[in-house]
Amino acid sequence: MRYDLAVIGSGGAAFAAAIAARTKGRSVVMIERDTVGGTCVNTGCVPSKVLLAAAEARHVSLDGRFPGISVSPFGVDFGRVIAGKRELVESLRAEKYTDLAAEYGWDILDGTARFATTESGPALEVDLADGGRTTARAEHYLIATGSTPWAPPIDGLAGAGYLTSTTAMELDTLPASMIVIGGNAVGLEQAQLWNRLGVEVIMIEALPRLAPLEESEISEIIEQVFTREGIGVVTAGTITRVDRSADGYRVALAGTDGQPTQLRAEQLLVATGRRPVTDGLNLTAVGVTVGSRGEVVVDEYLRTDNPRIWAAGDVTGHPQFVYVAGAHGTLVADNAFDDVDGGAGRTLDYHHLPRVTFTSPAIASAGLTDAQAVAQGYRCECRVLPLEYVPRALVNRDTGGLIKLVADRDTGRLLGAHVIAEGAGDVIATAVYALANQMTVRQMADLWCPYLTMAEGIKLAAQTFTRDVAKLSCCAS
């Protein structure tokens, strides 16, 4: 079989590349050894946000923040919750992946691919799921195999076994208790999700604070929220050993005071990051370099050391977001096929790339933190606006959050924005556009913004660079 583009994997990067290539009239084959759709729709964004929304619905029934509104707490039929999650995942997988492939007209081979060298260059040997074997040849190849959950080398952990964010969301029954290892985005989401479904949760983070990649003000608030909701939090905790018995897990800790501590729970969930998937691809045979963390090494155009082989998405070691993977896939198709002399030469600018942690309140950031800006040589000027000054938060009766803006003192240009608030993921989009267009905080402060939206908080935060917003009327501009 001969194609213009052969893609290993079927996630966000793979589909974006295939769609772009077919739009250009190029032939495509895709090889997938597992489930079509990759991490996002099957085991990542979609199922986790479905469960987070369900857990939020139960939490709201316990909230009691609005005077005069009394709601009886409702129980959890966990089997139906999981069944609903699976139904949505299967629907989206068909609608946004398998049906799309058929509509655009490319082949998906169910099998395992590995590179081989031939007289005409690289090729893919494919062991098909039905026991057969075939060879796929192409003008260009794309490695889009994604990433998989990674666990640190803790004594006893491998033997004891553990849940990941993937396998936890396939549980059939709610455990009574759970230990979550890892206090970054995935760990935070999973801890709050299970706690709000009625599981007793304890978190362990090796670094001194939760959300260690975020501004310290945000870390402080999310820890307060978790503590208030009854989630146990252990920071600066070094795990020395994990054991498992009939009654659950035992995790031994060396705390900050050097005294060992033991925690027990029915289940153990490890959320300590993800590593690229490159096993079995035989990359060295075709001259593709793999980095120290298992990532496929690419240049700024996403080409590997082999000029006919590209990589996109999580497998490159670039930021692990599905929207990055999608942008990568389209970029590869453009660079591979838009210019007969070697590609369109497109690159990506990550300086305004947003990230969101879907806790409640949500955490969202774009651009530089205060410390990153200083490290890059900027003279920084920062402002922190508590949500008590944002009218939308007041009417929601939920002022436990803040917005922080980082600006260049010399020019006033926005360098970064950091939000912890309900709807922070929507709020941060405003800052993304400001960063992309190199706006100053004065320009942001003078823009139109609809009243009684959470996004108005960005405008108010920008106004704090020149005004005392506490002395404005609620709808003054």
What is the domain-level CATH number for residue 237? 3.50.50.60
pLDDT at position 339: 64
Average pLDDT over residues 433-440: 97
Output the domain CATH number for residue 458.
Answer: 3.30.390.30
Chosen domain end from 251, 272, 293: 272
**Contact assessment for residue 215 and residue 369, using Cβ atoms and an 8 Å cutoff:** yes
pLDDT band at 342 (very low <50, low <70, confident <90, very high): low
**Cα–Cα distance, 218 to 470 (Å, whole number):** 21
Q: Is 349 part of any domain?
A: no
pLDDT at position 433: 97
Statement to judge: residues 409 and 265 lie in one domain: no
Which residue is it, tokens 């398998």? 98
pLDDT at position 41: 81
Range of the domain at 462: 354-468
Q: Please give the tally of structural domains in the chain.
A: 3
3-state SS assignment for residue 89: helix
Supply the mean pLDDT for the chain: 93
**Does residue 60 carry a pLDDT above 80?**
no
Statement to judge: residues 284 and 186 lie in one domain: no
**Cα–Cα distance, 302 to 310 (Å, whole number):** 6
Q: Is 348 part of any domain?
A: no
Statement to judge: residues 267 and 279 lie in one domain: no
pLDDT band at 128 (very low <50, low <70, confident <90, very high): very high
Statement to judge: residues 283 and 369 lie in one domain: no
Predicted TM-score (pTM) of this structure: 0.93
Residue whose C-alpha is closest to residue 196's, from 45, 49, 57: 57
Statement to judge: residues 92 and 218 lie in one domain: no
**Cα–Cα distance, 188 to 209 (Å, whole number):** 12
Q: Is 343 part of any domain?
A: no
Statement to judge: residues 305 and 214 lie in one domain: no
pLDDT per position as a tens digit, 356-396: 999 999 999 999 999 999 999 999 999 999 999 999 999 99
